[in-house]
Amino acid sequence: MGRYILLRHREIADLHRLEVYVRHGGYEAWRKALTTMTPDQVIEEVKASGLRGRGGAGFPTGMKWSFVPKDVFPKYVVVNADESEPGTFKDREIMEGNPHQLIEGALLAAYAIQAERVYIYVRGEYRSVARRLEAAIAEAYAAGFIGRNVLGTGYSVEMAVHLGAGAYICGEETALLESLEGKIGHPRVRPPFPATYGLYGKPTVVNNVETLANVPPIILHGAAWYRTMGTEKSPGPKIFCLSGRVRRPGNYEAELGKITFRDLIFGEEYGQGLLEEGRAVKAILPAGASAPMLPASALDTPLDYESVQAAGSMLGSASIIVLDDTVDIVWAAYKMVRFFQHESCGKCTPCREGTYWLRRVYERIVAGRGRPKDPELLESIARQMAGKTLCPLGDFATSPVLSSLKHFRREYEDYLRRAVETPAGVPA
Amino acid sequence: MAGTVRIVIDDRSIEVPAGTLVVDAAKRAGIDIPVFCYHPKLEPAGMCRMCLVEVGTIQIDPQTRQPVRDEEGRPVVRWMPRLQTACTTRVAEGMVVRTNTLQVQEAQRAILEFLLTSHPLDCPICDKGGECPLQNLTMRYGPAESRFDYWDKMRQEKRVPLGDLIILDRERCILCGRCIRFQEEIADDPVLGFSDRGRGMEIITFSDPPFASYFSGNTTDICPVGALTTTDFRFRARPWEMTPIPSICPHCPVGCNITLDVRPSARKGGWDILRVMPRQHEEVNEIWICDKGRFVHHFATAEDRLRQPMIRRNGELVPVSWEEALDRVAEALQQAGAEAAGIAGDRLPNEDLYLFRRLFEEALGSPWVTMDPPVFGGEWVARYGVGVGTDFGRMGPGSLVVVMAGDLEEEAPVWFLRVRGAVRRGARLIVAGGKPQKAERYADPILRYRFGTEALVLVGVLRVLLEENRVAPEALPRLEGLETLKQGVADYPLEDISRQTGVPVEQLKAFARAIAEAHEVVFLFGREGVVDGEAFAGMAANVLALTGHVGRPNNGLLPLWPHANTQGALDFIGVRPLPEEVPVLYVVGADPAGDGRAMPRAGFLIVQDLFLTETARMADVVLPAQSWAERDGTFTSGERRVQRFYKAIPAVGEARGDWEIFVALALRLGQRWLYLSPEAVMDEIARTVPRYAGMDYGALAWTRPQWPPVGSSRDLYFGGTARPNTAGLGRVWASEAEAPEARWPLFWKAPEVPSEEAVLVVPVRRLYHEGTLIARTPHLRSWIVPWAARMHPETARRLHLEAGQMAMIQVNSQAVRLPVQVDPAVPPQVLMLPASLAPRAGAVQALPVEFRVEVGDGALPH
C-alpha cells in the first residue's frame, strides 16, 4: 500500500482510467461486498471503521446509513459534490484524479441501503470535473460495475451526474435535494431528515465525495485496518486543503490528529511556511469561511474533530486558510460576511436580514465611517442570528464576526479611531 | 394520529391530540405564540422563525418508567440546545414548552427587528394598516426603536401587478410564502413562486396570463402584511372606517359566508361596498371565497341600476311614481286573476319567493308560477340530499366524493377547494363527465362518457351493484320499488351500456364498487349536457339509496345548482310549465328573453329587476327591485343550508325590496298582509313551512366558536382579514331520508338517450361567463369568457361552419346567435354553448338540431 489512500492518483499515473484503477485493486471492494457481504454487513463494517462525514459535520457515516428504513422504496444515494466552501478543493482533486474510487464508494453506499439510483450533484462551476466524472461512469457502466444485474448478482443500480447552478446554499444537503428535484435551492425544515424523507420524499443518504472515497478501502481492508489510522474518535485519513498566505498551498492527505496546524503550515512535506519571509501567522480559518477563526496561539492544535473543537472552532471540511500579519482582519471578516450575504438563500428571516445588516455595518467601518458602538452592534446582530436560522448557513455567517471580534477586537478599534465621526442617522 | 398526549406549556399541563403542532396546542391552551409564515390552513414552513420557543422532554428513568426528579421533587427536563419553531414541532408525550422565557422573548424581539429592517414605514398609507399582523406583533413583541439605519433600507418596487386583480408591493413583502403555499396546497393553481435569493428574493407569478387562479384574492387575506392588495380595494379605505356587514355570497350554490365592508361614500351618494371579505364558516367556506364572490359586487351599486318604476307610454318606458306603477300592475293582475302567470328568478331571497307564490295563489287564485331557470332533481334532493351535519372538512380516508355532469371548479369554486382538501386528507374522488375538468387531477377513476348518456352510465352502475349483490343490508328493509328497478335494469346489458356511453365496463364496475365500499359518499351532480334530467337525478338517487349512502351526514346528493338560491326557488316556487299565452306575465329577477329562454306570450308584461334587461325592455311596467345588499333576507344553499344576510347599504334610487312590492300589490288586491320586514315573513315561514320549521332569524343567527380561530383581526395567532362569524351559521333542513322511519323510494324510467348521429347542444357553465352582473366589475374584464358556440373541427365541418362565423342555432324553438369557435378539445358531435344562453340541458329533444347559419363579421350582437 502506498502513501496515499485517497489521493492515490498522485502515485499512480492515469488512475482516472478504469483499466488502471482496476489494475490497482479497483472495484475489488465492490465485488467483495456484492458477492460476499449482505447490505447490513456493509453498514456494520463502515460503522465499525468509525468513518465520519468529511463534508463538515463529521457525523458517523455508518450510523447515517443505518437510519434509512429498510422497507420503503425507492431509495437514493446522493453524492454531495457541491464543494463550495471557500478554500475547499479536495473533492475536485478526487473527482479529477481518482473518480472511480468515489464511484465505487457511492456504489457501496447504494448497496448498503439498497438504493436503486445514485445522483452525483456537482457544483455548477465544475463543468470539466463533471465531464471527467461522466466519462468514468460511462466506463464503469461498460465494464458492468453499474447498471442492471451488476456482476451477475441481481442487484441493479443507476448513476447520473447533475450540475448545480452555482449557489453555495446547495451544498446544504436539503437545499441540494430541492435543487436536484428542480426547485429553488431552499433548505428544508429538519426533521424529517433525508434518511427518511429525502429526494422526492424517499429515503436518501447524502454523503460527501471524500467520505465515499474512504469506503472502498474500508470494505477491502476492513474496519480494524482503518482504525490503525487517525485517532480513536476521528479515525482514518483526511485531506487538508491548505491555502492563504502559505508558500505551498494545496491538498495534503494525512491521518487525522497526527499533525497540527503548525505541521501543516510549516512542514517540509506540507505548506513549507508562509509566503513571505519574516511574517507571522495572525489567524487560521480551519474550515473556510464558516468556522470561527483561531489566533496564532492555536497553531499547535492537532488536526482532528475533537481537538479543533476544543480550541474553539471546527475542523469542518478542513479547508485551512492561513492569514498572516499583513492581513487586515476587519477587511477579511467583511469579505466573509459579504460572501454569506451574497449566498444567503433568503428563506429564513434572521439569515436574510442579518447578513445584509452585518454587511452594511462592515461597509461603513471599512469605508472609514464606523461608529464607536459598531463592534457591539455587530456582536449583537450576530448573536441575534445565531441559533435561530433554518439551516447552518446563518450560523456560519456569524463565525467570522464573532471570532474576529473575540480575538482581534483591537483592529476594529483601530478602524474606529481613524473613522470620520458621522452623526448617527446620516447615510454612511 | 390516534389518542392524545399530555404536554406542559408554560407550566400548564394540557392534553392534545397526538401530532398537533406546538403552536396549535398552545392556542388551544389560550397561549399565543406569534407567527408570520405559519397559517393553520397551510402546511408549516418554518421560515419566518417568529415562533421560536424552548422545547424539552421530561426525562424518564428507564427502570421505573417514572420521571426523573431533582432534589426538590420536580421532574428533570432535558432541554433542546436551540430554540425550536413551534410551527414545525409536533407534540409528543412528556414534552415541555416554554413560550415566555427571556430567551424566547429575546428571539421574538430579534426576529421582529430583522423583519423591520427591510419593511417600509408606510403604515399610514398601507391598506393593511389597522388589521396587520406585523403591526400587531411589533406592538406586542417588537423593539420600540430600530437600530437599523433608515437609509440602508432596501428600496424595491411598490407596484408589481401579479395579474389584473392582485398588486404586489415588494418592499412590504416579508417573504413568508403564505401566498405561494395557498396557491399550491389549497387552490392547486401553483402559479406563484420565489425567485432569486437573499434580500433580492421576490414573489413572482409564472403563469400566462399572470396569476391565473379563481382564488387569487384569498392571498391578500392571508398575507400577514400589506404586500398583496386587490386592484379593487387598494387605497380605497382604512380598515377602521368600514363596517363589515355579514352577508351571503349571491353567486353560486355554495353559500359562502362573507361580509360586505361598507363606508359612507360621497361618490356613490350614500354608502358604498368597498370590499367583500370571507366570513369564517368551517362547514361552508372555511375562510375562503372565490374571486367572483370577492369582486362581482359592483353590480349592486352600478350606475345603470333601475332607480324608478317605469310605465310604457306611446311605446316608450317613462318614469312614474311607485303609486302609479303599483296601481297599474295591481289593476292588470286583478283583471287577469287566475290567468295571470309569474316567473321568479332563483336569485331572489326565500322571503320574496314565498310571498310571490302566495300572491298568485291567494290574491289571484292562479297556479301559474314557475322558477327560472328550470332545474331537475329537486324532489330527489329533498329526499336524499346530503344529511344534516355534512362537512367536506371532516371527510378523509374512507370517504368518496363523486362529481358528475358538472364542472366543480367552474360551478362551485369553493366546493372544489374543499373537495380537494378532503382528497388531500385521503378521501377518494370520482369524476364523471363529457369533458375534462380541473378536479380530474385527483380523480380515480375518471369516467368520460358521451354527453347525453349520463342516466345510462348510472344504469350501468346500478346493474353492477345489483349483479354483485351490493345492496346495503341496512337499506334493504327501507327500499321501495326495488323489483321494478331490477326489472328495468335487466334490459340493459353492461356491454350495450358501455358501447352507448363510451365508458369501459371495468370503469363502470370500479365506479359501482367504490360507491358500495366507501363509508360515506357525497354525490355532486350538475346539468352539463344532461338530456334526461329526470332519469339522471333519479338514477343517482337510486345508486345512493341502494348502497345506504343517504339519510346521514356526509352522505347524499349535492346539486350543483346554477345560482345562490335555486334551492329556495324549488322550495317555494318549483318548476311547472306555463301556458304558451297568458294575459299578464309577471317576471321577477329573471331575464328569459336575454337568456334565450322560452317565455309565454303575454298581453301585459311586468318586469321587476335590478337592470333594464332584455325582458325588461319588452315590458309594459318595470319595477326597480333592491339587490341583496340593500335588504335583509335568506338564501338556501345547495346543501339546503338556510343562511341570513343583512342589509349593508341603503336602497339605490327608489328601488324597493321584492317582498315589499309584493306586499304593496297584495294590499291593493284586497289581502290583509302586514309584513313590515323580511324578518316577519321568515317568522311566518318558520311557523308554517315544515322544511323551514323553527328557522326564524334568531335561530339562523346562532353561532359557535370556529376552529382554527382565524376569523379575527385581533387574533395575533393569525391576524389575517377573514372575518369572525358572529352573525349566524344558518340551519340545514333535513332530507326526508333522515326521518327515523323513512322509506327510501327508488325510481325507474327508461332513460332517454340521444341517437349517436345527433349533434348535442351542451350548456357549459364557466365562472366568468359574460353576464349581467359580472359585466359591472371592470377588474374582471380580461377574464370574461365571451359567448361562443364551441365545437370540434370535425363537427364544424359536418355543419359547414367555420371559425369566426356567426351562427343562428335553434334549440327547442329558441334561436341563439353566436360566433363559432373551433376547439379540438370539445368532444365530437357536441356544441358547447354558454349555460346562460341555453340552460335547458335536458330539453334538447328535437334531434338532430336544426341550424340556420349566417355568415357574419364575427362581431357579437351586444
What CATH number does residue B164 fall under?
3.30.70.20
- pLDDT score for B786: 87
**Best residue in A181, A353, A378, A379 for a mutation probing chain B (most B CBs within 10 Å):** A353
pLDDT above 90 for A402: yes
* Residue B294 covered by a domain: no
DSSP characters over A221-285:
H-HHHHHTSB-SSSBSEEEEEEEESBSS-EEEEEETTSSBHHHHHH-TTTT-SBSSTT--EEEEE
* Residue B240 covered by a domain: no
Average pLDDT over residues B630-636: 98
Nearest to A68 by CA among A163, A217, A203: A203
Place B469 in a pLDDT band, splitting at 50, 70 and 90.
Answer: very high
CATH number assigned to the domain comprising residue B358: 3.40.50.740
B336-362 pLDDT per residue, tens: 999 999 999 999 999 999 999 999 999
* Cα nearest neighbour of A423 on chain B: B149
- SS3 track for B514-552: HHHHCCEEEEEECCCCCCCHHHHHHHHHHHHHHCCCCCC
- Do residues B532 and B399 share a domain? yes
Q: How far A151 CA sits from the closest chain B CA (Å)?
A: 42
Dihedral sign from CA coordinates of B232, B238, B240, B242: negative
Q: How far A381 CA sits from the closest chain B CA (Å)?
A: 8
How many helices and strands, by DSSP H and E, does chain B display? 22, 37
Could you tell me what percent of chain B has a pLDDT over 90?
79
* Residue B241 covered by a domain: no
The full set of domain ranges for chain A reads 8-227, 237-324, 329-418
Mean pLDDT rounded to a whole number for chain A:
95
A43-78 pLDDT per residue, tens: 999 999 999 999 988 999 999 999 999 999 999 999
Question: Which residues does A contribute to its contact with B (CB < 8 Å)?
Answer: 167, 169, 184-186, 189, 341-350, 352-357, 360, 377, 380, 384-385, 387-390, 424-428
- CATH code: domain A8-227 is 3.40.50.11540
pLDDT above 70 for B849: no
User: What are the CA-CA distances from residue B479 to residues B348, B455, B520, B550, B745 (Å)?
Assistant: 36, 20, 18, 11, 6
Cα–Cα distance, B619 to B597 (Å, whole number): 16
Mean pLDDT rounded to a whole number for chain B:
92
- Do residues B770 and B850 share a domain? yes
B358-390 pLDDT per residue, tens: 999 999 999 999 999 989 999 999 999 999 999
- Do residues B124 and B210 share a domain? yes
The cell numbers describing A399, all together, are 463565525
pLDDT above 80 for A422: no
Place B843 in a pLDDT band, splitting at 50, 70 and 90.
Answer: very low
Alpha carbon dihedral B26, B27, B28, B31, in 10-degree steps, equals 60
Return the CATH class of domain A329-418.
Answer: mainly alpha
pLDDT above 90 for A419: no
- Do residues B396 and B540 share a domain? yes
Contact of B174 with chain A, judged by CB distance below 8 Å, is answered with: yes
Could you tell me what percent of chain A has a pLDDT over 70?
98
B116-129 pLDDT per residue, tens: 998 998 999 999 98
CATH number assigned to the domain comprising residue B22: 3.10.20.740
Residue A94: exposed, middle, or buried by beta-carbon count in 10 A (0-12, 13-18, 19+)? buried
User: What are the CA-CA distances from residue B308 to residues B139, B172, B324 (Å)?
Assistant: 51, 47, 11
- pLDDT score for B596: 75
- Do residues B529 and B423 share a domain? yes
Residue ending a domain, among B168, B196, B230, is: B230
* Residue B651 covered by a domain: yes
Cα–Cα distance, B523 to B544 (Å, whole number): 8
- Do residues B523 and B403 share a domain? yes
Pairing of strands B601-609, B621-624: parallel
* Cα nearest neighbour of B118 on chain A: A353
Cα–Cα distance, B486 to B585 (Å, whole number): 45
Contact of B145 with chain A, judged by CB distance below 8 Å, is answered with: no
Write out chain B residues lying below 8 Å of A357, CB-based. 114, 117, 148, 152
Specify which residues B313 forms β-bridges with. Answer: B316
Residue B326, C-beta contacts closer than 8 angstroms, at least 6 positions apart? B309, B661, B664, B665, B668
Give the type of residue at B642.
V
- Do residues B354 and B425 share a domain? no
Cα–Cα distance, B47 to B50 (Å, whole number): 8
* Residue B720 covered by a domain: no
- pLDDT score for B716: 63
Cα–Cα distance, B782 to B768 (Å, whole number): 10
Specify which residues B429 forms β-bridges with. Answer: B401
Cα–Cα distance, A211 to A42 (Å, whole number): 15
- The torsion angles phi and psi of A81, rounded to 5 degrees, stand at -115, 35
The cell numbers describing A56, all together, are 463538515
Place B140 in a pLDDT band, splitting at 50, 70 and 90.
Answer: confident
Contact B262, B242 (CB under 8 A): yes
Average pLDDT over residues B291-295: 97
State how many domains chain B has.
5
A360-397 pLDDT per residue, tens: 999 999 999 999 999 999 999 999 999 999 999 999 99
Pairing of strands B52-58, B77-79: antiparallel
**Best residue in B38, B114, B138, B225 for a mutation probing chain A (most A CBs within 10 Å):** B114
- pLDDT score for B715: 65
Greatest mean pLDDT among B27-31, B197-201, B419-423: B419-423
Q: Give how far the C-alpha of residue A27 lies from the chain's centroid of Cα atoms, to the nearest Å.
A: 25
- Do residues B337 and B406 share a domain? no
Specify which residues B763 forms β-bridges with. Answer: B833
Write out chain A residues lying below 8 Å of B142, CB-based. none
Place of cell 397559517: B39
* Residue B334 covered by a domain: yes
- pLDDT score for B859: 30
Give the type of residue at A101.
Q
Contact of B201 with chain A, judged by CB distance below 8 Å, is answered with: yes
Place of cell 457511492: A106
pLDDT above 50 for B663: yes
- pLDDT score for B807: 80
Pairing of strands B760-764, A319-324: unpaired
Q: Residue B74 belongs to what domain range?
A: 4-100
**Best residue in B35, B47, B206 for a mutation probing chain A (most A CBs within 10 Å):** B47
A216-248 pLDDT per residue, tens: 999 999 999 999 999 999 999 999 999 999 999
* Residue B656 covered by a domain: yes
- CATH code: domain A237-324 is 3.10.20.600
Cα–Cα distance, A2 to A15 (Å, whole number): 14
* Cα nearest neighbour of B87 on chain A: A189
Helix then strand then coil, % of chain B, to nearest 5: 30, 25, 50
Residue ending a domain, among B188, B205, B230, is: B230
Cα–Cα distance, A360 to A357 (Å, whole number): 5
pLDDT above 50 for A13: yes
- Do residues B216 and B333 share a domain? no
Average pLDDT over residues B305-312: 97
Write out chain B residues lying below 8 Å of A427, CB-based. 149, 151-152
- Do residues B467 and B396 share a domain? yes
Q: How far B733 CA sits from the closest chain A CA (Å)?
A: 45
Residue B862, C-beta contacts closer than 8 angstroms, at least 6 positions apart? none
Contact A376, A294 (CB under 8 A): no
Which of A356, A388, A425 shows the shortest C-beta gap to B49? Answer: A388
Q: Give how far the C-alpha of residue A162 lies from the chain's centroid of Cα atoms, to the nearest Å.
A: 18
B710-730 pLDDT per residue, tens: 866 566 666 566 889 999 999
Least confident of A306-315, B215-224, B684-693, B704-713: B704-713
- Do residues B370 and B384 share a domain? no
Cα–Cα distance, A313 to B560 (Å, whole number): 66
- Do residues B369 and B384 share a domain? no
A141-156 pLDDT per residue, tens: 999 999 999 999 999 9
* Cα nearest neighbour of A387 on chain B: B82
SS3 A352: helix
Residue ending a domain, among B700, B715, B748, is: B700
**Best residue in B21, B23, B150, B152 for a mutation probing chain A (most A CBs within 10 Å):** B152
Q: Where are the beta strands (DSSP E) in B196-309?
A: 202-205, 228-230, 243-248, 257-265, 270-278
- The torsion angles phi and psi of B678, rounded to 5 degrees, stand at -60, -30
* Residue B643 covered by a domain: yes
